[in-house]
Amino acid sequence: MAIFENLDLQDLENEIWKDILDYEGDYQVSNFGRIKSLKFRKERILKQNKNGEYFFIDLWKNGEKKFKLVHRLVYEAHIGKLEEGYDAHHINGDEEDNFVENLESKEHSKHLRDHNIGKHFSEEHKKKLSKNHANFKGENHYFYGKHHSEKTKIKISRYKKGENNPNYGKGISNQKIIDIQSDIKEGILTQIEISKKYNISQSTVSNIKNNKLRS
């Protein structure tokens, strides 16, 4: 059984637990990458999900759910808070290995470059990484114009921009905009993945990225 599949409350040998930053008293993360909930005075190990290459967990605070990358939680709890513009990088290239010893801080641009170089990755793996990290715009976007008639393309060009988008600014709280801006800055999820995560249009994500919609 892989570490991330082990939901047994009993500590593993040499496993160390620390509070998750900003969730002290509610959640903990171990140096092995397991997540524990302390809420409601009942400890339990949380099941992790996978989004592309990375494991993530949803944490609750003040009635609001937030998406968190497990390897980043491990790094910031056991090593220290990541500086702005830096990512938690898997040293051995295995995104399932969230042991603290396998994590290091790396500048975001270098992190992307290392993934794109992909010296130790298969072609299939590199394609997945490229989709996770790429930030294509307009005609360079890999979905642009695919399977659309000319009439549909004209409609898309009219409605996807700024205030003309039917979803522009609707039902988006300031905190959600801040969370989306954080996801955009991390560069791990594509705009389409972010739009699905927050149940908003991709053009709204683009508006937030381009500061057309601010908190």
Which tens digit of pLDDT belongs to each residue from 61-87? 999 999 999 999 999 999 999 999 999
26 falls in which pLDDT band (50, 70, 90)?
very high
Predicted local distance difference test score (pLDDT) of residue 34: 97
> What percentage of the chain exceeds 70 in pLDDT?
72
166-190 residue pLDDT tens? 444 445 777 888 888 888 888 888 8
Which of the four pLDDT bands, split at 50, 70 and 90, describes residue 129?
A: very low
Q: What is the spatial distance between Cα 203 and Cα 111, in angstroms, rounded to a whole number?
A: 26
Reported confidence tier of residue 25, pLDDT bands at 50, 70, 90: very high
The residue among 52, 104, 50 whose CA lies nearest residue 79 is 104
Q: Name the token pair of 28.
A: 């903990």
Residues 6+ apart with CB under 8 A from 162: 168, 207, 212
Residue 64 CA to residue 173 CA, distance in Å, equals 11
| Predicted local confidence at residue 156, as pLDDT | 44
Q: pTM for this one?
A: 0.55
The angle that helices 123-133 and 108-117 make with each other, rounded to 10 degrees, is 150
- The answer to whether 70 touches 98, Cβ cutoff 8 Å, is yes
- Check residue 162 and give its pLDDT: 46
- Cα–Cα distance measured from residue 1 to residue 34, given in angstroms and rounded to the nearest whole number: 13
Bridge partners of residue 90, in order along the sequence: 103
pLDDT value of position 168: 46
Domains of the chain: 3-133 (3.90.75.20), 138-209 (no CATH)
The DSSP letter of residue 39 is: G
Residue 87 is encoded by which pair of tokens?
């990512």
Q: Which tokens sit at 214? A: 């601010």
Binning pLDDT at 50, 70 and 90, where does residue 212 land?
low
